[in-house]
Amino acid sequence: MVTAIIVAAGSSTRMGEGKDKLFLELLGRPIVGHTWARFDGLPEIDEIVMVVREGRRGEFEKLTATLDLVKPYQIVNGGAERQDSVWNGLDAVSPTTEIVAIQDGARPCTDRDLIIKTINAARETGAAVPASCVTDTFKETNAEGCIARHIDRKSLRAVQTPQIFKLEIIRSALEAVRKHGRQMTDDTSACELIGQPVKLVESSAPNPKVTTESDLLWVERLLRDK
């Protein structure tokens, strides 16, 4: 059984004061609604756990009435940090869940084939994540804000979501994070802590996360194309 955990408990601080990016409408639907509907429409996903900010459950319940959902779902409260929200999501999955796909609520354009490839890779290795090659030139800076050294981009990858794991592996990884008092914004970093290999799955189609207003036009165009 595969459960999608959609993390939608962030504060949207980079979008600007008073703006919740998840509920900004594109093509007549909130961004998080597009994300939810995409995973709900995949035969490979069996259930969905939506992790939301405390006090926002009512808004998400209203959203469900507009989405024509077919998969069973739960809405649970998030925590203080992203890793706490993921932990709450893991606590809510069905007992028969074997694989969890952890997705950003503000990443609504993820390609179906990419999700399937990442699920298959996680079945084989225990953990997998979509990743794209970087094209910019990277420099490390010093304390004075000047270039300290050049970084070879050949081995660099930009990771995305869904980050997909065997359930027992991500549980063990996050337990280690909590035990050591670490804070991590990326679930694969928890796997690094316990020495769990994470397979990189090439992401060639655009899979942006809405972070600032400048992302909206591009994401709207991608949603229209899909």
Q: What is the mean pLDDT of residues 73-100?
A: 95
Q: pTM of the prediction? A: 0.92
Q: What is the mean pLDDT of residues 162-186?
A: 93
> What pLDDT is attached to residue 182?
87
Residues 6+ apart with CB under 8 A from 180: 193
Q: What is the mean pLDDT of residues 124-143?
A: 93
Q: What is the largest CA-CA distance in the chain?
A: 55
Residue written as tokens 């939506």?
A: 50
Pairing of strands 99-104, 138-141: unpaired
- Taking only the tens place, the pLDDT of each residue in 65-77 is 999 999 999 999 9
> What pLDDT is attached to residue 226?
75
Residue written as tokens 């503000």?
A: 106
pLDDT bucket at 146, cuts 50 / 70 / 90? very high
Picking from 209, 178, 211, 215, the residue whose alpha carbon sits closest to that of residue 6 is: 209
> What pLDDT is attached to residue 17?
53
Picking from 20, 22, 18, the residue whose alpha carbon sits closest to that of residue 209 is: 22
Q: Which string of b and e fits 35-48 if b means at least 16 CB within 10 Å?
A: bbbbbbebeebbbb
